[in-house]
Structure 1
Amino acid sequence: MLESFVVQEAIRQTTWMDDPVSAGYWRTRDDIEVDLVLERHDGAVVAIEVKAGDHVKRTQLSPLVALRDRLGSSFVAGITFYTGATGYEVDDRIHVLPIERLWT
């Protein structure tokens, strides 16, 4: 339920942008999955994962890392939203943010 809420809110916020954004998800044959992939018309990608919990384990970020490594420079950022209180950068272009940052 939390995942659906965050995904819907993120998609809703893309409607405020000047340029169109396409929304989807990414899944491999090995069942590596990213909850939401937002792509601008120029190919720039932001990927979003959602975790219910007050901390995020590094292993939970592996889908974002896999997508980043696959897309290269078109991968702008990977964000894991969680119910914790602190935002931080974990790796190159991989961030963990509190869900309330959707509105700031």
Structure 2
Amino acid sequence: MESASEFVAASYARRLDVPSRSIPNYLCALRDVFLVRELSAWGNNLSARVVSKPKVTIADPGLAGALAGADVTGLERDVSSALTGGLVEGFVTSELAKQRTWSAIDYQMSHFRDSTGPEVDLVLENPRREVVAIEITASTSLTGRQFRGLDFLKEKLGERFIAGIVLYTGTRALPFGDRLWALPIGSLWRAQPA
């Protein structure tokens, strides 16, 4: 299992050489012992093309890295790899799931992908149906490409779209347009200067 990926039972059944009907039970067992976290797909009737597969992440990115045979030096050397990106995404997802338990604002966490291409790693929706969309990247530099899915949701949701954030491994908070920001991953734990 990749560190963070959409869950297709038949694909994992083939890779593990087990019957596909067994896979949901294995997933349930891994979820029950807190080894994996399942994020439901978020669509909110935006389009008929919204993909409805859940995304599964390994709850402990350190364990995921060890199982993949990765070490810090290798991950730093190949920061643009799918493995590094998946581990960073899993780490941020895990941290936000922890913070959700003590947050003053209740929110649901899910992911979004449209079959035409736009996707967002995390969609946080509060009971008022307001949305903060988060894209996660292991990169230290940014282009407009990281904001593609956020722009898509902003256009579709209008005023319900509170903010779109790209969490990255850089060090500066940067505005990227109306309600769009790039923030260092470290901002999850510390306040940014005013």
Q: Same fold (TM over 0.5)?
A: yes
| Greater Cα shift, 64-73 or 6-15 | 6-15
Give distance in 2, aligned partners of 1:11 and 1:47. Answer: 15
Higher relative contact order (CA 8 A, sep 6+): 1
Give distance in 1, aligned partners of 2:122 and 2:178. Answer: 19
SS of 1:6's partner is: helix
Q: State the Cα RMSD in Å.
A: 1.1
Q: Deviations over 1:32-84 (max 9, x none)?
A: 11000000001111111111111111122111011111111011011101011
The aligned counterpart of 2:180 is 94
TM-score, normalised to structure 1, is 0.94
Bigger strand share:
1
> Which of residues 59, 74, 97 in structure 1 aligns to 2:145?
59
Matches within 5 A, 1:6-17: 6-17=92-103
Contact 2:109/2:124 (<8 A) preserved: yes
| Greater Cα shift, 18-27 or 76-85 | 18-27
Residue 156 (structure 2) pairs with residue 70 (structure 1): yes
| Structure whose CA Rg is larger | 2
TM-score, normalised to structure 2, is 0.52
Give distance in 2, aligned partners of 1:15 and 1:46. Answer: 17
Aligned length, in residue pairs: 104
